[in-house]
Amino acid sequence: MHMAHFGELGLHYSVTGPEDGTPVVFANSLGTDFRLWDKILPLLPAGLRILRFDKRGHGLSDVPQGPYSMGALITDTERLMEHTGFRNSIFIGLSIGGLIAQGLAAKRLDLVRAMVLSNTGAKIGTRDMWADRIKAVNEGGLEAVVGPTMDRWFSKPFQADPEFPAWRNMFLRTPAMGWTGCGAAIAGTDFISSTSGLRLPTLAIAGSEDGSTPPDLVFETADLVPGSEKRLIRNAGHLPCVEQPREYAEILTAFLRAQGAA
């Protein structure tokens, strides 16, 4: 268990793999912690140096008073990568993690040489939509939004799987301040202009049953970056690394190897 401290903020993170391995960073979604990636890690090539972390307000990281800005989330990630020596990395971001990927790539190409935009967009939802969700959580906790969120996140068959309650519980145990703080960051983010200026290897992954970031949104975002690749995973929702880990890992592995990873 590792904590990095930046002023009053402590971030929980994990680094695995050989010190000379290809640096790969994973950034997870709103309402999850870095265990989101557990299923796929054993399926990836050997020789990767992997950084996972709980963004502010999530998992075992500190929960500062919100709301948060996307700029703050990007700076947190930038500082953590510098702290752990992750430069020239392949950055894999899912949902809000994909927004962090886009913002960090626009700011620090020395840190990000290739990116995977999984189940994300350059802009996700509207300010009014996020204001309504934040109001609901402020008044009723995450219980107020868990049902619709799970319906957007997971396919109907997976919601009958014995594993499903664990993901529901992970969501519910996210600190409400962390969720609303990051929700405010998403609400205020529009990276369409800055992402359209990016020129780096990019892979977009979408889930066919994703009700949060539908395939059209994911692929329209990918089209902003010339030469980007697009992959659709069927029978999966917003977290395809959970519902279809083997296919997700195969897609990632092909991209990683194309970037010269082990």
DSSP 179-208: HHHHHHHHHT---HHHHTT--S-EEEEEET
**Is-contact 100 114, C-beta < 8 A?**
no
**Residues whose CB is less than 8 angstroms from the CB of residue 142 and which lie 6 or more positions away in sequence, other chains included:** 31, 171, 172, 174, 176, 179
Q: In sequence order, what DSSP letters do the residues of 193-254 get, joined into one string?
A: HHHTT--S-EEEEEETT-SSS-HHHHHHHHTTSTT-EEEEETT--S-HHHHSHHHHHHHHHH
Per-residue confidence band for 174, with pLDDT thresholds at 50, 70 and 90: very high
- What would the mean pLDDT of 186-201 be, rounded to a whole number? 98
**Cα(50)–Cα(167) distance, integer angstroms:** 23
For the chain, list the domains and their CATH numbers: 2-259 (3.40.50.1820)
Q: How far apart are the C-alpha atoms of 100 and 94, rounded to whole Å?
A: 9
Residue 114: which of 87, 135, 134 has the closest Cα? 87
The rounded mean pLDDT for the chain is 98
Give the CA-trace dihedral at 102, 29, 135, 141, to 10 degrees: -160
Percentage of residues in the chain having pLDDT higher than 70: 100
Taking only the tens place, the pLDDT of each residue in 93-146 is 999 999 999 999 999 999 999 999 999 999 999 999 999 999 999 999 999 999
Q: Judge if the upstream peptide bond of residue 67 is cis by omega within 30 degrees of 0.
A: yes
- How many whole angstroms separate alpha carbon 160 and alpha carbon 113? 39
Contact (CB, 8 A) for 175 and 142: no
Query: Which of the 8 DSSP states describes residue 64?
Result: -
What's the pLDDT score for residue 1? 84
> Encoding tokens for residue 92?
């894999």
**Three-state DSSP class for residue 44:** coil
pLDDT of res. 248: 98
- Tell me the pLDDT tens digit for each residue of 63-103: 999 999 999 999 999 999 999 999 999 999 999 999 999 99
The Cα–Cα gap between 14 and 35 comes to: 10
Q: What is the pLDDT of residues 9-42, one digit of tens each?
A: 999 999 999 999 999 999 999 999 999 999 999 9
Tell me which H or E stretch contains 25. Answer: strand 22-27
pTM, entire model:
0.98
d(CA 238, CA 248): 12
- Yes or no: say if 210 and 152 are a contact pair by the CB < 8 Å rule: yes
